[in-house]
Amino acid sequence: MVSVQWFGSQALELTYKTATGKVANELLYRDDEARLTLVEQGRPWSFDGDGALFRLVSEAQRIRLAHLFDPVLAVHSSVVDPLPHQITAVYEAMLPRQPLRFLLADDPGAGKTIMAGLLIKELVARGDLQRCLIVCPGSLAEQWQDELYRRFHLPFEILTNDKLEAARTGNWFLETNLAIARLDKLSRNEEVQQKLQAPTAAGTWWSATRPTSCPPPSSAAR
């Protein structure tokens, strides 16, 4: 419908455009209401949507596809200055061959934590990673949490007894997709191990572990 012009309350002149683009008009009376049906309300493209919501959706789509235009997206969106061997390990050896398991076992100080962080953030940015569990000795849990948030803006939560007891679902692991757990808590607590293995719609855990035999601050990512 293009326009409607009323003549009193009993008649109107309707101007409309057909599917072929032809403009026509018709005089309608109250007696014609029975043969009229509503096919579609409004125009197919009214441009009256929420602009802020459209911008949010378009920005989310842009971020989701950003790795196609920026092969090292995690590097440019993190507070890191990676060394050549770190770029080679993450982007040439590890990412192209997911979901294989890898062991980072460079010398202490070679930046294994940085490599693990780059891999995690890159997988998150590409939509390939939703749940990640980092297992480390208790003395390194806060260091992992601080480094991953400060350098990669990844909000990992550390598993504690208080969080286990306060979980709304009774299983903290079902409520937390980015988690850090102390090695001794997982190895000595059968109840925690059972909760850890509980199925979830987000899938199984992608894990990063650090063997106790490596000198700090080394780490191994699997």
Q: What is the pLDDT of residue 208?
A: 61
Q: What is the pLDDT of residue 180?
A: 93
Q: What gap in Å lies between CA 79 and CA 158, rounded to an integer?
A: 22
Q: What is the pLDDT of residue 220?
A: 37
Exposure pattern of 40-64 as b/e (b: 16+ CB <10 Å)?
A: eeeeeeeeeeeeeeeeeeeeeeeee
Are the beta carbons of 183 and 212 closer than 8 angstroms? yes
pLDDT per position as a tens digit, 133-148: 999 888 899 999 999 9
Q: What is the pLDDT of residue 2?
A: 85
Q: What is the pLDDT of residue 173?
A: 84
Q: What is the pLDDT of residue 157?
A: 93
* Residue in the structure block whose two tokens are 């699997």: 222
Q: What is the mean pLDDT of each successive set of 10 residues along the chain, which is 222 residues long?
A: 87 87 89 81 71 90 79 85 90 85 81 91 87 89 93 93 85 89 78 71 59 38 36
Label the pairing between strands 3-7 and 11-17.
antiparallel
Q: Distances from the Cα of 111 to the Cαs of 116, 117, 163, in angstroms?
A: 9, 10, 31
Are the beta carbons of 90 and 119 closer than 8 angstroms? yes
0.85 exceeded by pTM: no
CA proximity to 135, closest of 199, 208, 197: 208
